[in-house]
Chain A
C-alpha cells in the first residue's frame, strides 16, 4: 500500500509553461518534504513544510501543505530545462525528536523541453 500518492507520474512540458505536482495521503504527517533527484544521484531536499496551510516559495517553486497535513502540492512557474528531474514528496511520521522514518511517494518525472 502506497501511503503517499503522487500525481502525475510523468509530465513532459515546454519551457515557459507552469505545472503543479500533487502529493496525497490518507495519513497525517508531522511534516512533509519535497526532494529533487537527478539520474545517478541521491535525492536533494528542496523544502520542508510543517504547519497545516503553510506556503513556502523557493524562487519559481511554490510549495503548499494542506490544512489537515495530509497532502501537499508543488507548483513551478515558467519551467526551465534545468527543472528536469524526479520530484519526490516524503512524509515524516509521528512527533517528537525522532526522524527515523521517511515515507516517500513514487515521484513525478518531469521533463522540460527547450
Chain B
C-alpha cells in the first residue's frame, strides 16, 4: 500500500511570501504529525492531529504557522510571511490511532528554502 506522501518535494520561495505544504497520510490513519528538521538536527515536533482536530499544537513556533486537516485525512501546513529561518525539511507522519504503542510512519519531507 502507499505510504505517507508529501508535496511538493522541494519549495523555494522569497522572504515574506506565503507557502502551503501538503501531506497525504496512510489511508485509515487517524493521527497525523508535522515535524521540522533543520540541517544537522533531529526532527522537531510542530503539531499533532487526531482526526480533524489539533490535539497538540505546542510545537508551532509562532502565529505565522498554521495547519489544518478539515476532513481528517489530508493536512496542509501553512506558513505566512516566510523568513529565512523557516528554511528546513518539513516532515509529516501518520499513525493508526495515535496511541503510544502505534508506529509513526514518516513521509519523505518537503524541503523549504526561503531566499
A100 contacts B by Cβ under 8 Å: yes
In the complex, the answer to whether B93 meets A101 with C-beta atoms within 8 Å is: no
A24 contacts B by Cβ under 8 Å: no
Residues of A70-113 contacting chain B, CB below 8 A: 88, 90, 92, 95-107
Number of interface residues of B (CB under 8 A): 30
In the complex, the answer to whether B4 meets A98 with C-beta atoms within 8 Å is: no
In the complex, the answer to whether A99 meets B100 with C-beta atoms within 8 Å is: yes
B51 contacts A by Cβ under 8 Å: no
A103 to B35, CA, bound (A): 10
State whether A101 and B42 are in contact (beta carbons under 8 Å apart), knowing that A40-B108, A42-B91, A42-B107 are contacts in the complex: no
Within 8 Å CB of B99, what residues of A? 97-99
A31 contacts B by Cβ under 8 Å: yes
A44 to B23, CA, bound (A): 17
A105 to B40, CA, bound (A): 11
Within 8 Å CB of A106, what residues of B? 40-42
* Residues of B in contact with A (beta carbons under 8 Å apart): 4, 31, 33, 35, 40-45, 48, 55-56, 58-59, 91, 93, 95, 98-109
* Residues of A in contact with B (beta carbons under 8 Å apart): 4, 6, 30-31, 40-45, 48, 88, 90, 92, 95-107
Interchain residue pairs A-B with the least CB separation, the first 3: A42-B106, A104-B42, A100-B56
